[in-house]
Structure 1
Amino acid sequence: MVMNCKGQLIDLSVPRVMGILNLTPNSFFDGGKYNNEDKIITRATNILTEGADFIDLGGYSSKPNAEFVSEQEEIDRVVPAIELILKHFPDALLSVDTFRAGVAKASIESGAAIINDIAAGELDDKMFDVIAKYNVPYIMMHMRGNPQTMQSMTQYDDILKEMLFYFSEKVQKARSLGINDLILDPGFGFAKTTDQNFEVMQKMELFNLLELPVLAGVSRKSMIYKTLHITAEEALNGTTILNTIALSKGAKILRVHDVKEAVECVTLFTKMSFKQN
């Protein structure tokens, strides 16, 4: 599998790591930590020097019951950060975590290479058109509702079957518009109970039937710390364990807060896979 990012072909036969840089004051783990230029650059530097392939910028917290942020405020958070990081690291591949077409458009025009949409176009019907126009890789996540309502929308007859149908429809629509590079994100923690999250993880290899790269985003999430009766700050070990399981199920991108540990996880997993082959 190969992904085209601004003319650079990224080989996904070896799993890649995406480091999270939250620009929000209220994200569940690191909200408010990166609220000025020096802190943003320090975080970007650390993500890149620790070996991440991508930096994922977010200007709207998607944690459960997150407060509303206007589109302009989201743009005002994200675009200056894109420009700042690319000024220092011109070759950095930046992903923007947004469900709004206007934010996606402004981000791409400012130099973003990837759009990471938690709603796969469900919350903005112009999103697919923007992706098609600019022809950037598009991460489509499974979610129901929005961050304010998703936790009340966890009723499924067959969660894996329904998710596969959801992605099949999204892929068909994207292909009809000429969108080439698609990545699937099961959306751990989004409109899913803890037990449902683990069911999806257990059967995650089913998404490989769609023959597209899969991104796993479990970093320090509640499925870990609630199960272990700890805090998000204590959930690094659990994150590494689930990242390893995700890789064994075919994940091609790990989206994480802790880049060094994820890169080590990929390195050791790849070594084991090579030995087995």
Structure 2
Amino acid sequence: MTAPVPHDTRPAQLTRSRTTPLRAGRHVFDLRRRIAVMAIVNRTPDSFYDRGATFALDAAVAAGMAAFDAGADIVDVGGVKFAPGPAVPVDEECARVVPVVEALSCRGAVSVDTFQPEVAAAVIAAGASIVNDTTGLRDPRMVQVVAGSDAAIVIAHSLAEPRTPYPEPRYTDVAREVRAQLDHRVAVAIAHGVPRDRIVVDPGHDLNKSTRQTLELTRRLGELSALGLPMLVALSNKDFIGETLDRDRGDRLAGSLATAVWCVTQGARLVRAHNVRETVDAMRMIEAVHGWREPVRERHNTPPQGDD
């Protein structure tokens, strides 16, 4: 009779992660044992998801406060959407995002989604800890701004000039090409004085990519984990989820959570989300199952407290 195989009691390792702690201003995120949730607050009149619901200053600040209350580790404030459209003057973008940063930075880490170096400098001065550049350092002045501060930088993969269309994007090997561009941009940032422990990479779900390309990139996300840097996934409610499941903009939560969980198993350690409470719960469950987090309480099938 074959002897039973002994059960391995060691905790399983999440796939291909060599993540190190992330330093962002006065904040340090030990992403080796935690998945950070980045909440989204858009101070734009035309954001694809909320359609301007948080464009008013008081609404944006209230949304950011609520996100922290719901467990978000970071609140990401945006004043200009990535999608094609007319240019927004730097002064106007600053007027949208700086007051929100000033109001929220006392509560926790605040990121600002911008590709304008002047805006990045203004929000860092106002208390932002992270600059989230969806153009992947296309403007070389952005590197200088971040290098001269203690803020972290998110370097996203995209191909288009800011706010310009990029129809029918083509890749010979989407995962390999995304990794190569991110590797190059990271090298540029480091060469200009940005410490490695203040750099995050983002594969750019849907950014100048078709649904099939984004699905393949997601499937092979572990190949990007080999970069050895914290990886952010910004996939919440995006079109590739809607097109895959045939779901409208307001009905993509289940698909978003399923994809986020997959990405975490492949090495992502920051998840950007509109639905904060649900995403926080999903990430905390992953941490608990993996042995990184204790249950808040334990009563099920356990003796009442005080019993021998």
The TM-score normalised by the length of structure 2 is 0.84
In 2, Cα distance between the equivalents of 1:52 and 1:127? 26
Correspondence 1:10 to 2:26: no
- Structure with higher Rg: it is 2
Correspondence 1:160 to 2:162: no
Correspondence 1:47 to 2:67: yes
**Which residue matches 1:98?**
114
In 2, Cα distance between the equivalents of 1:220 and 1:67? 24
**Which residue matches 1:230?**
247
In 2, Cα distance between the equivalents of 1:21 and 1:220? 14
In the TM superposition, what is the alpha-carbon distance from 1:178 to its structure 2 partner?
A: 2.0
**Which residue matches 2:164?**
149
Whether the 8 Å contact between 1:66 and 1:147 is mirrored in structure 2 is no
Q: 1:150 to 1:35 in 2, by over 3 A?
A: closer
Which of 215, 222, 236 is residue 232 of structure 2 equivalent to? Answer: 215
* Percent sequence identity over aligned pairs: 29
In the TM superposition, what is the alpha-carbon distance from 1:147 to its structure 2 partner?
A: 5.0
Moved more, 66-75 or 142-151: 142-151
1:152 counterpart SS class: coil
Whether the 8 Å contact between 1:19 and 1:52 is mirrored in structure 2 is yes
1:210 counterpart SS class: coil
In the TM superposition, what is the alpha-carbon distance from 1:242 to its structure 2 partner?
A: 0.5
In the TM superposition, what is the alpha-carbon distance from 1:255 to its structure 2 partner?
A: 0.2
In the TM superposition, what is the alpha-carbon distance from 1:125 to its structure 2 partner?
A: 2.1
Which 4+ runs in 1 deviate beyond 4 A? none
Which of 24, 27, 51 is residue 31 of structure 1 equivalent to? Answer: 51
**Which residue matches 1:130?**
145
In 2, Cα distance between the equivalents of 1:24 and 1:37? 10
Residue deviations 1:86-107 (CA, integer Å, cap 9, x gap): 4xxx142100000110000011
Residue deviations 1:12-64 (CA, integer Å, cap 9, x gap): 1211100000000001001311133331232112100110000000000113x
In the TM superposition, what is the alpha-carbon distance from 1:150 to its structure 2 partner?
A: 4.5
**Which residue matches 2:42?**
22
- Residue identity matched to 2:38: M
Residue deviations 1:187-235 (CA, integer Å, cap 9, x gap): 0011100000000000001111110010011100000112222211011
Mapping of 1:61-80 within 5 angstroms?
A: 61-63=81-83, 65-80=84-99
Whether the 8 Å contact between 2:166 and 2:208 is mirrored in structure 1 is yes
1:274 counterpart SS class: coil
**Which residue matches 1:114?**
130
2:148 counterpart SS class: helix
Task: Flag the structure with higher helix content.
Answer: 1
In 2, Cα distance between the equivalents of 1:209 and 1:229? 33
Whether the 8 Å contact between 1:23 and 1:31 is mirrored in structure 2 is no
The TM-score normalised by the length of structure 1 is 0.93
In the TM superposition, what is the alpha-carbon distance from 1:82 to its structure 2 partner?
A: 1.2
Which of 204, 212, 215 is residue 221 of structure 2 equivalent to? Answer: 204
Q: Aligned residue pairs: how many?
A: 270
Unaligned ranges ≥5, structure 1: none
In 2, Cα distance between the equivalents of 1:153 and 1:163? 16
Mapping of 1:243-258 within 5 angstroms?
A: 243-258=260-275
Moved more, 153-162 or 111-120: 153-162
